[in-house]
């Protein structure tokens, strides 16, 4: 079947975009659109929500005549700058940041509590928190505080930061979209992570010789384009993405890093089986990405028809799903788990592992005294 089509069938295994049945997990749901009286609850815990909480504290303090954070507008304070304030010598400034952390953590705990009231989330034992905000001291404290608030309210769930750097997780997770036979004999794959602010393409080195569960996978090289600064048309954005991928292919070939003929894509929104974006792509650069006349996987397969001398296969899934998949090797001690990604919006997904939890009675059945599977 030609590259870029909705379904492929190789070695008797059908593959499709936005699939629920993946090699290691079942995707129970994603992009949950729970609402309250103010709209989508996820908006209460997006990255900018923390900035809003911090700005509220600063405005209240300005009424007394002094803003301990100075004159820099809140929107211009980077994660590193806020972390520096929190850890600095000005305790009043640090306490102001702590106030925003407490308020934001309350919102995050509220959102997660609402998610866990949904049928698909009731069995969740652990929630992984990713996205750019999690990669900061402030983010880590907010996540930890939200976890404490949930437990104090009787929720038996652990909140943990994502293992990989969030930028890398959005690429590494693409390897878990592919069954093992697609990766066999190759050292790396190409991956793309498209967000509302940035577009990233990278080469994920699989390191299957070290561990077949992809726990050793890493981003070998990556390219970042902050499209929000350029406000490009959709066609320009696709052309830029193709150029980034082609550059990475050349670098991999030069380094004799064998690429599997696949591109894994992480993209916001509900992903249809044919690769179309049903809804949720409103923050993507320029043009209507949800148009019935546009299909990103087909566009990439057409622009890059071959990789390593083989027809290009493109598979796409929701960005929160893909970022969560990077965590699969580290979630094998439980059955059900979720992920939320704190970025331009609040992405979310819930998974059930196909394998029995390590150490469970079911997992131990059929093993001999040395722990090996019985014949």
Phi, psi of 243 (to 5 degrees): -65, -40
The domain tally of the chain equals 2
- % of the chain beyond a pLDDT of 90: 69
| Mean pLDDT of the region 49-55 | 96
pTM: 0.87
Within a domain: 121: yes
Instruction: Report the alpha-carbon distance of residue 192 to residue 222 in Å, rounded.
Output: 9
| Mean pLDDT of the region 7-27 | 73
What is the per-residue pLDDT for 203? 98
Neighbours of 104 (CB within 10 A): 28
- 321 lies in the same domain as 178: yes
pLDDT tens-digit series, residues 225-246: 988 888 888 999 999 999 999 9
- 50 lies in the same domain as 125: yes
- Tokens matching residue 64: 């007394």
Q: Is the pLDDT of residue 8 over 70?
A: no
- 169 lies in the same domain as 303: yes
- 129 lies in the same domain as 275: no
- 254 lies in the same domain as 322: yes
Residue 15 — very low, low, confident or very high, per pLDDT cuts 50/70/90?
Answer: low
Instruction: Report the alpha-carbon distance of residue 255 to residue 274 in Å, rounded.
Output: 34
Domain around 56:
35-161
- 95 lies in the same domain as 171: no
Instruction: Report the alpha-carbon distance of residue 57 to residue 48 in Å, rounded.
Output: 14
Q: Is the pLDDT of residue 367 over 80?
A: no
- 196 lies in the same domain as 87: no
- Within 13 A of 94's CA, how many CA atoms are on the CB side? 10
- 169 lies in the same domain as 273: yes
Task: Answer for the pair 188, 259: CB distance below 8 angstroms, yes or no.
Answer: yes
Higher pLDDT, 10 or 122: 122
What is the per-residue pLDDT for 361? 57
Give the DSSP letter of residue 21: B
Phi, psi of 105 (to 5 degrees): -60, -35
- 300 lies in the same domain as 214: yes
Residue 125: exposed, middle, or buried by beta-carbon count in 10 A (0-12, 13-18, 19+)? middle
Within a domain: 281: yes
What is the per-residue pLDDT for 223? 95
Q: Which helix (H) or strand (E) holds 324?
A: helix 319-325
Task: Answer for the pair 242, 199: CB distance below 8 angstroms, yes or no.
Answer: no
Higher pLDDT, 108 or 232: 108
What is the per-residue pLDDT for 1? 37
| Mean pLDDT of the region 102-106 | 97
Task: Answer for the pair 344, 39: CB distance below 8 angstroms, yes or no.
Answer: no
What is the per-residue pLDDT for 263? 96
**Among 15, 10, 1, residue whose Cα is nearest residue 273:** 15
- 318 lies in the same domain as 178: yes
Q: Is the pLDDT of residue 150 over 80?
A: yes
Instruction: Report the alpha-carbon distance of residue 108 to residue 86 in Å, rounded.
Output: 20
């Amino acid at each position: 079947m030609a590259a870029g089509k909705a379904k492929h069938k190789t070695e008797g295994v059908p593959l499709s975009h936005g699939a629920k049945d993946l090699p290691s997990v079942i995707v129970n749901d994603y992009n949950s659109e729970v609402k309250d009286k103010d709209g989508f609850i996820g908006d209460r815990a997006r990255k900018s929500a923390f900035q809003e909480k911090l700005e509220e504290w600063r405005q209240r303090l300005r009424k007394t005549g002094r803003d301990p954070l100075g004159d820099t507008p809140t929107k211009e304070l980077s994660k590193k700058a806020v972390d520096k304030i929190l850890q600095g010598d000005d305790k009043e400034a640090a306490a102001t940041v702590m106030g925003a952390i407490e308020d934001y953590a309350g919102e995050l705990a509220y959102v997660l509590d609402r998610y866990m009231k949904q049928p698909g989330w009731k069995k969740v034992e652990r929630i992984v928190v990713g996205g750019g905000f999690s990669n900061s001291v402030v983010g880590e404290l907010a996540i930890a505080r939200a976890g404490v608030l949930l437990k104090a309210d009787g929720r038996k769930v652990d909140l943990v930061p994502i293992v990989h750097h969030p930028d890398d997780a959005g690429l590494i997770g693409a390897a878990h979209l592919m069954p093992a036979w697609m990766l066999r004999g190759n050292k790396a794959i190409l991956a793309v992570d498209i967000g509302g602010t940035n577009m990233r393409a990278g080469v994920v080195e699989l390191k299957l010789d070290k561990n077949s569960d992809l726990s050793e996978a890493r981003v070998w090289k990556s390219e970042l384009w902050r499209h929000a600064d350029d406000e490009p048309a959709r066609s320009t954005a696709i052309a830029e993405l193709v150029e980034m991928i082609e550059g990475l292919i050349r670098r991999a070939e030069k380094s004799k890093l064998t690429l599997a003929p696949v591109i894994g894509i992480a993209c916001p929104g509900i992903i249809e089986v044919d690769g179309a974006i049903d809804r949720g792509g409103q923050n993507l650069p320029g043009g209507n990405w949800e148009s019935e006349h546009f299909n990103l996987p087909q566009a990439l397969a057409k622009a890059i028809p071959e990789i390593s001398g083989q027809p290009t296969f493109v598979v796409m899934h929701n960005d929160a799903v893909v970022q969560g998949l990077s965590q699969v090797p580290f979630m094998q001690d439980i059955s059900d788990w979720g992920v939320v990604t704190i970025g331009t919006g609040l992405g979310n997904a819930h998974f059930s592992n196909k394998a029995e939890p390590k150490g469970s009675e079911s997992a131990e059945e059929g093993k001999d005294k040395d722990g090996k599977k019985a014949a």
